[in-house]
Structure 1
Amino acid sequence: MVATLDDTKRTAIGERLADLKAVQNLIIANDQKLLAACHDADIRDRLQNMLQDDQKNLGIIETVIVQYGIPSEPSAATKTFTQQSEQTMAGDEFTLYQKLLHHELMKHGQTMSGIMIHKAAQVVGADIEVAITPLNTVNFESRAHQEQLKGMLEQVGVREMTGKEAKQGLWARVQDATAALSGIAGSILTQNSNKEDMNIQTLIRLDHNKTNTIFTEIGATKDPQKLQEYFGQLYKDLLTHAQAEEEVVYPNVRSFYGDGDTQELYDEQAEMKRMLDEIKASDPHAADEFRSKIKTLMDAVGDHIRQEESTLFAAIDKNCSSEQKEQMATEFKAAKSKIQQQMVAM
């Protein structure tokens, strides 16, 4: 019987991702409070745009958590911080400038948290780095928001202190800094700039990329314990992916993909599940036999991936609107999250 993946470093990353989501929800609530407290039309427009970005970024963080596949709760420290921050932003004892300053510091913390998660992933496992790749969008946009908040702070701070308007030179520097950050982000920002979620092909492809990466890690490791751990993660990821596809994707595509081709996908995943259970029940210390079975599984999964990314994806593009593909992605993500929670409970 192989060991399930129980790596404290991976668990810690899961908790940090949960922290990131909790703080992102707090940031959205703060955006809304700042909008209600601000009467300057220019600043309100900027805050409104920021709120839309933050709502989209919450969807990206939720996607990353599901792709990562290790559900967790926010840390006690983050729960305490969010409670204190809510009190700060709701009270009357702080001026708008002080609340904006608090918000800018929170954005800085969110940016650094996202970067540290990415750096930790590089150390712990290539499959984690693949799973959290969409987080780069959140990191870059949080950094861009910091620059915008600096301009707001100058305007509001000078107005509160002097009753007069600040000279607008800083806004030009803010625009330049934001443009530079957007340039660094490149296609990542462009890809997601108008989406709260990704389409179904993107989410499925992210799963496929993570699976292929774990197979590569299995092939590269000489450590028997790591071999078991990587298979443990692969086992959970493939079962979650397969069940979510069978609940959401395959029933939606059968009408235009065809009964025969759709049933073939079901049958391939049934065989994949059989192989997973066979490997799970085998002796991982018999390394050659264990690796041989994983190689057979990898070949079968590879054939399945190629079919989905060619003919199935093409059929979805031909027969589904952008809205339908994004709705399917939302349902797929929700199904995966539910399945992951059930696995944890078991």
Structure 2
Amino acid sequence: MVTTLDDTKRNAIAVKLASIKALQQLVIENEQSLLREGLDSEIADRIRNFLKDDEKNLGILETAIGQYGIQAEPKKTVTEFIAKARELFKGSELSLYEKVSQHELLKHQLVMGGLIVHKAAQKIGADVLLAIGPLNTINFENRAHQEQLKGILEILGVREFTGQDADQGIWARVQDAMAAVSGVVGSAVTQTSDKSDLNIQDVIRLDHNKVNTLFTELLQSDNPQKIQEYFGQIYKDLTAHAEAEEEVVYPRVRPFYGQDNTQELFDEQAEMKRVLEQIKAISPSSSEFKNQVTQLMNAVGDHIRQEESTMFAAIRNNLSTEQSEQLATEFKAAKTRIQEKLGVVTESKA
């Protein structure tokens, strides 16, 4: 039985997410470059705020990609566009107004890309919508940035063409922009309150929520192909999650969580992996398949309850906020590496 999710639509979203990440990285480079342009203090403060948000949002985006569970490369045309845009932005051909104008257009690309992924996820599956949920915050903030950039463009454009300041100051223009965007974006996506730095409990809980959703979708489906696809993603997600925990999390918590408790988690995951391999050999159209998946779901549920109660409590009581966030960073990096090892990275097409 195939153990990786071979679904064209889901792979297409993975490529789109990788493209959005590449564009987000370009946005950060652009803003760092703009801050070296000798901007006046008010505009510079706005760009610094954008940069702070965008650096945070890159981390949120990386978390969402890890939760999605399919690693991909950006679309070839996006990679080529970024190379050309980077060269042009760093050169002297564009005026400051033109650079900010290009940056505003780049923000528009990110806004539309994020909204399209969100809308597509609604059509593909609840697990996809759950995995990309953190994108809602990025979508909202990029839309807000875009409106503020329009205000900055008004200021810079009037200065460039007349040598004088516009009648309306940037702060008043920004207030108008934010009043408009709060209604427009609020109706399109739900703004979330994702923190800039997720702790290890947050990240593990996101994984747990997604796999529970996948189990539900699989058991509710009567389509053997969809059942196979759902199991493929469960197989990949649980394997990557377990190996990352065993590599990064369990050794870190063992000193304060206890040898016996930690070993129990290792043993439960070893059994889970054995059952995954056993289910993989069963036809998805067989009644035995769903019976085995139900037993696996129940076992995983017991494992989740132990982690989210006693292990999470031990982490809260023994690790500082910074240590827990650093552990999350290490866990996400390990999981991404394992995801890439489990299956060939989805390749983009021009």
TM range (shorter): over 0.9
Q: In structure 1, how many angstroms separate the alpha carbons of the residues matched to 2:334 and 2:312?
A: 20
Asked whether the 8 Å contact 1:240–1:336 carries over to 2, the reply is yes
2:207 aligned with 1:188, yes or no?
no
Task: Tell me which residue corresponds to 1:29.
Answer: 29
Give the residue type in structure 1 aligned to 2:53.
D
Task: Tell me which residue corresponds to 1:9.
Answer: 9
Q: In structure 1, how many angstroms separate the alpha carbons of the residues matched to 2:174 and 2:298?
A: 51
Q: Map residues 193-342 of structure 1 onto 2, 5 A cutoff.
A: 195=196, 197-286=197-286, 288-342=287-341
Question: Following TM superposition, by how much is the alpha carbon of 1:182 offset from its aligned partner in structure 2, in angstroms?
Answer: 6.3
Q: In structure 2, how many angstroms separate the alpha carbons of the residues matched to 1:332 and 1:115?
A: 28
Unaligned residue ranges in structure 2 (runs of 5+): 346-350
Structure with the larger helix share: 1
Give the residue type in structure 1 aligned to 2:256.
F
Task: Tell me which residue corresponds to 2:160.
Answer: 160
Give the residue type in structure 1 aligned to 2:314.
A
Q: In structure 2, how many angstroms separate the alpha carbons of the residues matched to 1:3 and 1:34?
A: 46
Q: Which has the higher contact order (CA 8 A, sep 6+)?
A: 2
Question: Following TM superposition, by how much is the alpha carbon of 1:241 offset from its aligned partner in structure 2, in angstroms?
Answer: 0.3
Per-residue displacement from partner, 1:258-302 (whole Å, max 9, x unpaired)? 11111111111111111111101223232x111100000000000
Shift of the 334–142 alpha-carbon distance from structure 1 to 2, 3 Å rule, reads same
Task: Tell me which residue corresponds to 2:348.
Answer: none
Question: Following TM superposition, by how much is the alpha carbon of 1:345 offset from its aligned partner in structure 2, in angstroms?
Answer: 4.4
Residue range with higher mean Cα deviation, 169-178 or 312-321:
169-178
Asked whether the 8 Å contact 2:67–2:206 carries over to 1, the reply is yes
Give the residue type in structure 2 aligned to 1:188.
T
Asked whether the 8 Å contact 1:201–1:313 carries over to 2, the reply is yes
Give the residue type in structure 2 aligned to 1:161.
F
TM-score (normalizing by structure 2): 0.93
Task: Give the secondary-structure state (helix, strand or coil) at the position aligned to 1:37.
Answer: coil
2:96 aligned with 1:92, yes or no?
no
Q: In structure 1, how many angstroms separate the alpha carbons of the residues matched to 2:264 and 2:123?
A: 39
Provide the aligned C-alpha RMSD in A. 1.8
Shift of the 181–319 alpha-carbon distance from structure 1 to 2, 3 Å rule, reads farther
Q: In structure 2, how many angstroms separate the alpha carbons of the residues matched to 1:139 and 1:232?
A: 29
Q: In structure 1, how many angstroms separate the alpha carbons of the residues matched to 2:298 and 2:123?
A: 28
